[in-house]
Structure 1
Amino acid sequence: MKRLISIAVAILAVCLGLAVWSQDLQKSQGNTGDNTLNLFNWGDYIDPALISKFEKQTGYHVNQETFDSNEAMFTKIQQGGTSYDLTVPSDYMIEKMKKAHLLLPLDKSKLNGMQNMDPRLINKEFDPGNKYSIPYFWGTLGIIYNDKFVKASEVQHWNQLWNPKFKDSIMLIDSARDVFAPALISMGQSVNETNPQTLAVAKAKLDQLSPNVKAVVADEIKMYMAENEAKIAVDWSGEASEMLANNKHLHYVVPREGSNLWFDNLVIPKTAKHFKAIYAFLNFMMKPENAAQNAEYVGYATPNAAAKKLLPKSVQNDRQFYPDDETMKHLEIYSDLPPAKVGLYNDLFLEFKMYRR
C-alpha cells in the first residue's frame, strides 16, 4: 500500500512538474492566456505608448517579438512553433503567405475602421478586397539628395543618376529588386520584369552606373547621408523620413516616371489563437487618433485618411511622402515572383556588386 501511495505521489509530482513546465513553455512562446495578444512585428515599428494605452483600455497584454526581414518572418510562421496572433508582412510576402496557406481571412463583421482607409491604398493586387490584410504603413522607393552638393533639378528622374558628375556619390540600398527598379523604369520596363534578356540589359545598365556608386549597404545609408558623407541615395521613403529628420539639407524625390509602391499590412497568421484580442487591437489601431500618433512616432506615411487629417499640415501637404495622384498612377507594387525568377534577380545583383568598377 505504501508502495502504491509512493507511486501515486510520484505520478502526481510528475504531473505537477509537467504542468509547471507547460506553463513556463507557454510563457516563453508568448502564450500566457486568453487576455494575451502575440504580435510579431518589425523592430521599433509601433509607438510603445500605444501598446500601453491598448493594454490599459482593454485589459489585454501584448507580447511583442520582432523580425528583421519578411523572409525570416515567413520561415518562423511556416515552422509553426509559436502562436503569433498578428504579424506585419510586406505586399509581396502577403501574396506568398496566401499561396502557402499561412493566413486566416479577416472577419469583416468584427472590424470598425476600414472606412477610414484611403481608397487608393486598399483593394490592391496582392490582396483583392483586403480579404486577409489591413494597411498599416505605406511608402515608395525614391532618391534622397543633399542640397549642399546637388541641385534639385539634377535628381528628378532615374536616368539622371547616370550623370558622370555623380562619380562615387551614390549610396544604393542592398536589395536586388530595389536596385533593379530604377534601371528597369528608366528603360520603360516594369519593376516586375522577368524576361532574362531584359534583365540582362538592365544589369548592363547598372554596370554603367557602378562608377557613380559609392557603396551598396543597408542601414548604414542613414548615417552616411545624415553626416554629409554621401551626396545621393536610393532608398525607401520610410528610411528617407528618418534621414531628413536628422539633416536639414536632405530631400526626397519620387521620380514621376514611376517607382515602387510598397505596403506593410497587418494580417492574422494561421497560428493565431486570441481572436477577441486580435480584433480589439485591429480596431484600436484603425482609430484615427491612434493611427496618427503611430505615424508621428514611426515617421512613415499612414494609409488611414482620417488619421492623416490629424497630422500637422506640413506633413499632410508633404508631396515627398504623400505623392500626388499623377505620381501615384505610375507606381508599381512588387509581385511575388517564382523562386527561379527571384534567383535570377539575386544572381545578377550579386554579379553587379562583386564586379563594380
Structure 2
Amino acid sequence: MRQLTQVFLAVVLVSAVLLYTISGLNSSQGYSSGNTLTVFNWGDYIDAELVKRFEKETGVKVVYETFDSNEAMMTKIEQGGTTYDIAVPSEYTIDKMRQEDLLIPLDHSKLPNLKYIDERFMDLPFDPENKYSIPYFWGTVGIVYNPKMINGKKITSWNDLWDPDLKNEILLIDGAREVIGMGLNSLGYSLNDINKDHLKEAREKLDSLTPNIKAIVGDESRMLLENQEASIGLVWSGVASEIMYENEDLEYVVPKEGSNLWFDNMVIPKTAKNIEAAHQFINFMLDPEIAAQNAEYVSYSTPNKEALKYMPEDMVNDERFYPPPALTEKLEVYENLGKKNLAYYNELFLQFKMHRK
C-alpha cells in the first residue's frame, strides 16, 4: 500500500511539473487559457502560414480541428463537448444551425473588412443580412473531364453523361444532395425539389446511368482523375481547379441545365468561449491580401472582391471558377429541406447505390 501511495504521489508530481512547464511555455509566448481560439474547419481548407501569422499578430493561440461533413460538424457542436469559437459550415447547414439556435449573432462593427465582400454573396436566404455568417469561399458543382480519354467529346450538359460510349468512365461524389441534384437538374427540376414523384423520376434516371459509373467516391476522386484512371468526375469547382493544375488535359464545365452554387461561411457557434478573438480571426481572414493568399493556396473562389487585385490574372479571369453574374444567377443554392425531406433524399441515394451492386 505504501509503495502504491509513493507511485501515486510521483505521478501527481510529474503531472504538476508538466503542467507548470506547458503553462510557462504558453505564457512566454503570450498565450493563456483566455486567449486561445479553437477553429473547426474542413480539411486542408486554410493556408497554415496564415494561422501562424494571426497568432503572431494577435498573441492568440489557435487550436485547429477539422471535419469531413457538415453533418459531423453540426453533431459535435450540438453535443457541446468542445468549445469551438469558429466553424465553417455550408449554406444549408447555416440555415439549420440558425433555426436551432446554435449560433451567436455577429457584431459587424468589429468586422470593418466586411466591406470587401462582393455584394452578390451577401444577404442570401440562408442568413438574411448576414446576421450569423460571413462568406469564406464559394463555388459550383460541375463536371471535370478529360477529352483525350473520350475521343474528343465535349461535355456541356448533365445529359451528356448518359452517352453509352462513356461506360465505366464516371466518378460520382458520395453525397445525396449532389447526386440526386444532378438527376433532378438533368430532368429540368430544381435542386431543392421535394415533389416525391420528381425525386423518384430522378432516382430512376440515375439508375439508368449505372453502366457508366466507375465508382462513387470521396477525396480519392482527385488521384483517380489526375492519374487518368477515370475520364469524368462530378466534383466541386475547387477540386476541379486542384486536379487541373496537376493534369492540364482536364476540363471543367458547369452544365447548361444548371447546378449548385455553394457557399462556406465563417460562423461563431454557441460553444464559443473567446468571442472577441473569433471576431478578430474573421476580420483577419477578410483582409484582401490575406484572402488572396488563402484563395491561391486552397484553389477555391474567394468572395472578396478586393482580394482579386492581389491574385494572378489567369486565375481570376478564368470564368470556369469565377463565373460572371449572368451564370451565377442561373445557379441554385441548396436550401434547408428539413429533416424529413433530407431523410428521403438520403433514402433515394442509398437505393441508387444499392442498385449498382
Same fold (TM over 0.5): yes
Map of 2:332 onto structure 1: 332
Map of 2:356 onto structure 1: 356
**Alpha-carbon distance in structure 1 between the residues aligned to 2:282 and 2:112:** 8
Q: Aligned in 2, Cα 1:95/1:236: closer, same or farther, shift over 3 Å?
A: same
**Alpha-carbon distance in structure 1 between the residues aligned to 2:49 and 2:306:** 20
Give every structure 1 segment of 4 or more consecutive aligned residues whose post-TM-superposition deviation is greater than 3 Å. 150-153
- 1:250-304 Cα offsets, whole Å, 9 max, x none, are 1111123210011110000011121221121111110000000000111111010
- 1:222-250 Cα offsets, whole Å, 9 max, x none, are 11100011111111111111211211111
What's the CA shift for 1:152? 6.9
Q: Percent identity?
A: 53
Map of 1:343 onto structure 2: 343
Map of 2:8 onto structure 1: none
* 1:99-114 equivalence runs, <5 A: 99-114=99-114
**Alpha-carbon distance in structure 2 between the residues aligned to 1:246 and 1:91:** 29
Q: Is the 8 A contact 2:168 2:214 kept in 1?
A: yes
Q: Aligned in 2, Cα 1:89/1:152: closer, same or farther, shift over 3 Å?
A: farther
Are 2:159 and 1:144 equivalent residues in the alignment?
Answer: no
Residue identity in the other structure for 2:258: G
Q: Aligned in 2, Cα 1:34/1:151: closer, same or farther, shift over 3 Å?
A: farther
What's the CA shift for 1:32? 4.6
Map of 2:125 onto structure 1: 125
3-state DSSP of counterpart to 1:305: coil
**Residue ranges of structure 1 left out of the alignment (5+ in a row):** 1-12
Q: Is the 8 A contact 1:257 1:327 kept in 2?
A: no
What's the CA shift for 1:134? 0.4
Q: Is the 8 A contact 2:226 2:246 kept in 1?
A: yes
- 1:131-160 Cα offsets, whole Å, 9 max, x none, are 100000111100000121236763111111
Map of 1:289 onto structure 2: 289
**Alpha-carbon distance in structure 2 between the residues aligned to 1:135 and 1:256:** 26
- 1:64-121 Cα offsets, whole Å, 9 max, x none, are 1111111111111111111111110111110111111100010111111111111111
- 1:185-209 Cα offsets, whole Å, 9 max, x none, are 1211100111111101111111111
3-state DSSP of counterpart to 2:149: coil
Map of 1:4 onto structure 2: none
* 1:63-102 equivalence runs, <5 A: 63-102=63-102
Number of residue equivalences:
337
TM-score w.r.t. structure 1 length? 0.90
Q: Is the 8 A contact 1:174 1:217 kept in 2?
A: yes
What's the CA shift for 1:175? 0.7
- 1:308-346 Cα offsets, whole Å, 9 max, x none, are 221100001111111122211111011111212111111
Map of 2:37 onto structure 1: 37
Map of 1:191 onto structure 2: 191
Map of 1:280 onto structure 2: 280
**Residue ranges of structure 2 left out of the alignment (5+ in a row):** 1-11
**Alpha-carbon distance in structure 2 between the residues aligned to 1:154 and 1:209:** 18
Q: Is the 8 A contact 2:39 2:84 kept in 1?
A: yes
3-state DSSP of counterpart to 1:172: strand
Residue identity in the other structure for 2:231: K
Map of 2:264 onto structure 1: 264
Map of 1:302 onto structure 2: 302
3-state DSSP of counterpart to 1:154: coil
Alpha-carbon RMSD: 2.2
TM-score w.r.t. structure 2 length? 0.90
Residue identity in the other structure for 1:131: K
Residue identity in the other structure for 2:129: G
Residue identity in the other structure for 2:53: K
